[in-house]
Structure 1
Amino acid sequence: MSDRGAVPPGRRRRPGLLAATEPVRALASAGALAAGLPLLHLAPRGEPHPVLVLPGLMASDVSTQVLRIWLKRLGYPVVGWELGRNRGATQEIRDALPRLLDRLAAEHGTAVSIVGQSLGGIFARELARRAPRQVRQVVSLGSPFGSGRSLARPLQVPSTAVYSRWDGVVDWRACRQRPGPRSENVAVHASHLGMGHDPAVLWVIADRLAQPRHDWQPFRPPTRFGLGALFPPED
């Protein structure tokens, strides 16, 4: 893990309407999730494999509970990081995350997909660099890894960077990566705080986890039942 402090790169207190309305828009995502549950049952399902979910800065596994419950219902053995509140790249986290990845890969006999929200996504990318054979893919949610040159380097594993131009916490431009054969960006309408329970984000994660390990394909927004409206055009 890197020696970065508690504040992730690219984190900016953005003045104005987006920042001020983050909590309200996060609640709106929760309401949209409740309304959209019947359609989310149509989300893709893939080969069961372990999924590790990492929370954002100053958040704990409580913040990813909805996401983890959703993934369990899709049939994936999923775990949180079980390290309490994310206080940044402390020595405890630098030591514990590689051990946790080792344990999950050994227990299940296969590589682990990692989903990380905000700073958790930065940690996910660092784990993938450190142990690419143990990581199946990385999905980052509003993670400003693009602000650091070393963090923005391409990964050896498939990676999906989910970002939102309506992010009121970090600069959305820093949450994207250079598209490539196994790297992509997916735009959503979510707030930063609401990404973990936004219907469009949950669909993206389900779709990505359903990808065959050795036949990864870029994300294509669904077209049925008007679900494509959940996904704005990629810049």
Structure 2
Amino acid sequence: MPARLRTNLPRKTKKAAARPSTTKRTSFTPRRYPEANTSLWTEALFGAEILILHATPVYYGLGVPRGDGSAVVIIPGFLGTDRYQPYFSGIGINAECPNLLIQRRLNQTIENALAETGRKIHLIGHSLGGVIARSVAGQRPKDVASVTTLAAPIRGTVANRAVLHAAEAVRLRILEEHGRGVLPDCYTGRCTCNFLDSLRRKVPDSMVETAIYTRHDGLVDWRYCMTMNPEVDVEVPGTHIGMAFSPAAYAVVAERLASAQSTK
């Protein structure tokens, strides 16, 4: 019956009904990534790591090398927020196109730090923040004295299924929000943006590079958090989330910062 009604409609009306909508709808194909065989439940222990940190001398700056007054820009991890000291990275919640975060926010923070201190800066990044830090180090080698990554998958995206699902949701939101302002493979390892291109560049010998990782990482494959250079890679106990509160990691960071000569 509905088919007969459509057939009996006037010709002009039929054309109007068949006319395509002028509103463009964009469809995105979900990406599939290799999954890491990690134990997500271990990440629940990060609360204990926070308590332990507050009970250790390193948290209060005791028994660790002192700083030289140069700026340290700390970049939060995936879905982490800017609640660090002394320099906020300026990227807010880290759930955005990394290339845009660097261009629109992080570079300005770096410029401010350079102007205020007159010295090269130090970059420290946790998780995705570490990947961003390493990319910026490749982009601005003359401005960076050292780059330290904590539990950062700098060699590829191999993570727990829950992390991959969250990352895919972020990727689809980025594509919906920015449209042609980002590349189709944004937020994947196949993207050809400057962010990933810079990540693959070697840093100069004058820059102190450190990659801190834990074998008990419950979110990403810890092997992808290494550079495979024993002079760069440092293993510490703890979890992925807890890396940002690890006394062992803090001690390593303090030592590496002190070894990096920050000059104009």
| Fold shared per TM-score above 0.5 | yes
The Cα offsets for residues 26-73 of structure 1, whole Å up to 9 and x where unpaired, read as 0121121122237851112132210000000111013xx3xx3xxxxx
Point out the structure with max Rg over C-alpha.
2
User: Is residue 87 from structure 1 mapped to residue 87 from structure 2 by the alignment?
Assistant: no
Report the equivalent of 1:158: 208
Q: What is the CA-CA distance between 1:185 and the residue it aligns to?
A: 0.4
User: Normalization by structure 2: what TM-score?
Assistant: 0.64
Report the equivalent of 2:65: 44
User: Is residue 211 from structure 1 mapped to residue 252 from structure 2 by the alignment?
Assistant: no
User: Is residue 144 from structure 1 mapped to residue 153 from structure 2 by the alignment?
Assistant: yes
Report the equivalent of 1:117: 126
Report the equivalent of 2:50: 30
Report the equivalent of 1:192: 240
The Cα offsets for residues 204-223 of structure 1, whole Å up to 9 and x where unpaired, read as 11111111417xxxxxxxxx
The Cα offsets for residues 140-165 of structure 1, whole Å up to 9 and x where unpaired, read as 00000112695354322221000000
Q: What is the CA-CA distance between 1:83 and the residue it aligns to?
A: 2.6
The Cα offsets for residues 172-217 of structure 1, whole Å up to 9 and x where unpaired, read as 000001327xx50000011000111111011111111111417xxx
* d(CA) in 2 for partners of 1:11, 1:213: 39
- The unaligned stretches of length 5 or more in structure 2 are 1-32, 157-188, 190-195
Q: What is the CA-CA distance between 1:90 and the residue it aligns to?
A: 4.9
Report the equivalent of 2:26: none
User: Normalization by structure 1: what TM-score?
Assistant: 0.72
4+ runs of 1 displaced by more than 6 Å? none
Report the equivalent of 2:140: 131
When the two chains are superposed, the root-mean-square deviation of aligned CA atoms in Å is 2.5
* d(CA) in 1 for partners of 2:53, 2:34: 27
Contact 1:36/1:199 (8 A) holds in 2? yes
Query: Residue type of the partner of 1:163?
Result: Y
Q: What is the CA-CA distance between 1:117 and the residue it aligns to?
A: 0.3
Describe the SS at the equivalent of 1:186. strand
Distance 1:83 1:46, change over 3 A: closer
- The unaligned stretches of length 5 or more in structure 1 are 1-9, 69-77, 215-235
* d(CA) in 2 for partners of 1:162, 1:42: 20
* d(CA) in 2 for partners of 1:26, 1:121: 19
Which of 166, 172, 176 is equivalent to 2:226?
176
What's the % identity of the aligned pairs? 30
Contact 1:139/1:160 (8 A) holds in 2? yes
Query: Residue type of the partner of 1:56?
Result: G
* d(CA) in 2 for partners of 1:34, 1:104: 28
User: Is residue 53 from structure 1 mapped to residue 74 from structure 2 by the alignment?
Assistant: yes
Query: Residue type of the partner of 1:146?
Result: R
* d(CA) in 1 for partners of 2:200, 2:43: 26
Q: What is the CA-CA distance between 1:92 and the residue it aligns to?
A: 4.1
Count of residues paired in the alignment: 188
